């Protein structure tokens, strides 16, 4: 079974530029998550989708971050414009069912973003 795929793996941009990350979840997984992992911290949930609907985006900085999940499969996360504090690893995860507490989340390798 193929895992969660993410691209690019690394990205370096200057502040005020825009950037987009792509995630392809495990086939058949209904729920998709985007996390931000700042160096020295644990992952923090940014947004959760169930199929193509947003379940929770309460911690997404909506003035600069946006995300979509077209057709309930792939997802993109965009930052525009980027700030220095956005430097982090962006992790995508997916789970099979409705995203409940017992639902195991499977993580992709992440995209490491450096904002200069």
Judged by CB, which is closer to another protein: 27, or 101?
Answer: 101
Does 107 participate in binding another protein (rule CB under 8 A)?
Answer: yes
CA distance 90 to 34: 7
The DSSP 8-state label assigned to residue 59 in this structure reads T
**Pairing mode of beta strands 19-24, 5-7:** antiparallel
Q: What is the DSSP string of 7-24?
A: E-SEEEE-TT--EEEEEE
Does 104 participate in binding another protein (rule CB under 8 A)?
Answer: yes
Q: List the interface residues with another protein, window 51-90 (CB under 8 A).
A: 55-56
Q: List the interface residues with another protein, window 23-42 (CB under 8 A).
A: 31, 40-42
CA distance 71 to 36: 23
**How many residues sit close enough to another protein to count as binding (CB under 8 A)?**
29
Does 105 participate in binding another protein (rule CB under 8 A)?
Answer: yes
Residue numbers of the site for another protein (CB under 8 A)? 3-4, 6, 9, 31, 40-45, 48, 55-56, 91, 93, 98-110
């Amino acid at each position: 079974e193929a895992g969660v795929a993410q691209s690019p793996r690394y990205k370096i941009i200057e502040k005020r530029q825009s950037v987009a990350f792509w995630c392809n979840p495990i086939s058949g997984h209904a729920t998709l998550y985007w996390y931000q992992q700042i160096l020295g911290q644990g992952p923090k949930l940014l947004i959760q989708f169930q199929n193509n609907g947003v379940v929770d985006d309460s911690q997404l900085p909506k003035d600069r971050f946006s995300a979509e999940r077209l057709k309930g499969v792939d997802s993109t996360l965009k930052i525009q414009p980027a700030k220095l504090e956005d430097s982090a690893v962006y992790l995508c995860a997916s789970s099979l069912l409705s995203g409940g507490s017992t639902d195991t989340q499977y993580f992709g390798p992440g995209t490491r973003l450096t904002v200069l």
